Amino acid sequence: GENVEQHPSTLSVQEGDSAVIKCTYSDSASNYFPWYKQELGKGPQLIIDIRSNVGEKKDQRIAVTLNKTAKHFSLHITETQPEDSAVYFCAASKGNQGGKLIFGQGTELSVKP
Amino acid sequence: NAGVMQNPRHLVRRRGQEARLRCSPVKGHSHVYWYRQLPEEGLKFMVYLQKENIIDESGMPKERFSAEFPKEGPSILRIQQVVRGDSAAYFCASSPQDRRFGYTFGSGTRLTVV
């Protein structure tokens, strides 16, 4: 069945360093890949997304890359700040399923000042 | 310009009682999704609804769980005869018809079954 694997499960970096989170999906028909940030006690917040016709997308300190051949995509956060500390989730969906998202297991990012 | 509104934020139910979780989508959004998040886990899809229609309920348990999105009013996720294993955070999300802008999630309802 559909599956999204996310690594690492926890990640600790020093403030100012970069953080990279990787995801692999199983269904080659997936064509939409969002990333969500979830802070304690809150709902997931969309931070960036990419579609399968694009290989890379950047928004200030955040970038996402997609390798369709290998079926994996990654989140890159540069110049990390303490407020980046949260749980990050990747997800994948197929347009013809009406937007149902398959989520990864999450990465708890800790940015130490 | 309110986002997705979910209530209650916290709900405590005794085993065997019913739980009703409400979700009001972003104004103008016609698609609603429900997800469940168990402690220390990712979100699991439950159901996808449009107004008066269930589009995909492949993630809903076969028994005790139901969902609706009426023509007027919020979407409701209903859990009958709750058991301890139903304790989780339940998130609702909404999206516009063309879904180009992705989901907007609510803050969730944390259900505790005692």
Task: Write down the pLDDT at residue B41.
Answer: 80
Q: Across the interface, which of A46, A99, A104 has its CB nearest the CB of B33?
A: A99
On whether any CB of chain A is under 8 Å from the CB of B41, the answer is yes
Residue A88, chain B, CB below 8 Å: the answer is no
State the average pLDDT over residues B64-93: 96
What are the pLDDT digits (tens) for A11-20? 999 999 999 9
Judge whether A112 and A14 are in contact, CB under 8 Å: yes
pLDDT tens-digit readout, A30-45? 988 999 999 998 899 9
A97 pLDDT tier (thresholds 50, 70, 90):
very low
CB contact (8 A) between residue B45 and residue A45:
no
What SS3 state is found at A112? strand
Given A42, A100, A105, which is nearest B41 (Cβ)? A105
Q: Chain-wide mean pLDDT for chain B?
A: 92
Contact with chain A for residue B15, Cβ under 8 A: no
Q: What is the distance between the alpha carbons of residues A45 and A54, in angstroms, rounded to a whole number?
A: 22
List chain A residues with CB under 8 Å of B58. 100
Is the Cβ of A90 closer than 8 Å to some Cβ of chain B? no
Tell me: pLDDT of B93 over 50. yes
For residue A60, with 0-12 CB atoms within 10 Å meaning exposed, 13-18 middle and 19 or more buried, which class applies?
Answer: exposed
CA distance A34 to A101: 9
pLDDT at A23 over 60: yes
Cβ neighbours of residue A82 closer than 8 Å, sequence gap 6 or more: A15, A111, A112, A113
